[in-house]
Amino acid sequence: MAMPMRFDPLVDLDGRWTTQFADRYLPLPELPDTRHECIDGYDTVARVVGGRRLSADLPFPIDFDPADLLP
């Protein structure tokens, strides 16, 4: 007899996320300090540090020059 699969909402609801599913299954205890957003049925996860998204905490390199991006 096969062992029943454990329900994992991040895997099993991939591509079918709605706000109702998010209200029911999120936040996950395994992913503390994360922010979840539902975009076109997919749950996107961003780490939150000090109330802000981690990506917002990363500074630009000091030597960044927008002119370097031009051909």
pLDDT, tens digit (0-9, with 9 covering 90-100), for 6-45: 888 888 888 998 888 888 888 888 877 788 888 888 888 8
More confident residue, 62 or 41: 41
Can you say how many angstroms the Cα of residue 14 is from the centroid of all Cα atoms in its chain? 12
d(CA 42, CA 47): 16
Please give the pLDDT value at position 55: 52
66: left (phi over 0), alpha (psi -120 to 50) or beta: alpha
Can you say how many angstroms the Cα of residue 42 is from the centroid of all Cα atoms in its chain? 9
H helical segments located in the chain: 9-12, 19-25, 54-57
